[in-house]
Structure 1
């Protein structure tokens, strides 16, 4: 296993904690909104004034960029079959949930990949078998 593997595991834990915080934090407010919408539609609330519109555009652009990254990186890692699930979930649940979840899963995959690599120092040659019969 590589030296970086413990750091990758710690980073994965951070990503998963942020994913959980994103899920709980966004849905606590979503549930509160749906319980009392205050006369606004959900998207109407996003664009109710200049400040909320700025924040909404900010989140939408970052969400789209994160989705592009997840699909591209998912293809690179060989996850193309299931990574597409995260794209609609990003908009149905929250990008604050799916993007850190993806990053945590990515760290675990990179950790596994690092553990399967040859850990000999660069330039080292493999041990030779004795040719004695």
Structure 2
């Protein structure tokens, strides 16, 4: 859970800085600014692969483990950050496995 908190604080610190200092602070410009050079494009491509891999793993896993409200993590990944939702999912997953171990 601590990593989820770190993920939201660390990423949104910079998001807030962007929106406070950008000439035209909008989400459209945020994504456009992220693609202004090859370094930004590389990080965006890297993050896209991480998000796709996360969804490919976690959706069937969450259904199998019967994790409640697992679907909420999909929009939160795009609204907040995958740096928040991935560790949060691992926390929810560990709790589900522990709960099933005690019951079964």
Instruction: Sort the TM-score into its range (normalised by shorter chain).
Output: 0.7 to 0.9
Alpha-carbon RMSD: 1.6
Q: Does 1:101 align with 2:102?
A: no
Q: CA deviation at 1:70?
A: 1.9
Aligned equivalents of 1:112, 1:82: Cα separation in 2: 16
State whether structure 2 residue 20 is matched by structure 1 residue 42: no
1:55 & 1:49 partners in 2: Cα distance? 10
Mark the runs of 5 or more structure 1 residues left unpaired by the alignment: 1-15, 118-133
User: Shift of the alpha carbon at 1:88?
Assistant: 1.0
**CA shift for structure 1 position 24:** 0.3
1:86-107 superposed Cα distances (whole Å, 9 cap, x missing partner): 1011011101001110100100
Paired residue for 2:5, among 16, 20, 44?
Answer: 20
Please give the per-residue CA displacement for 1:8-43, whole angstroms capped at 9, x wherever unaligned.
xxxxxxxx1111000000111001100112568101
Residues 109-130 of structure 1: CA distance to partner in whole angstroms, max 9, x if unpaired? 111222233xxxxxxxxxxxxx
User: How far, CA to CA, are the matches of 2:50 and 2:34 in structure 1?
Assistant: 15
2:41 matches 1:61: no
- Runs (4+) of structure 1 exceeding 3 A deviation are none
Q: Secondary structure at the match of 1:48?
A: coil
Distance 1:94 1:33, change over 3 A: same
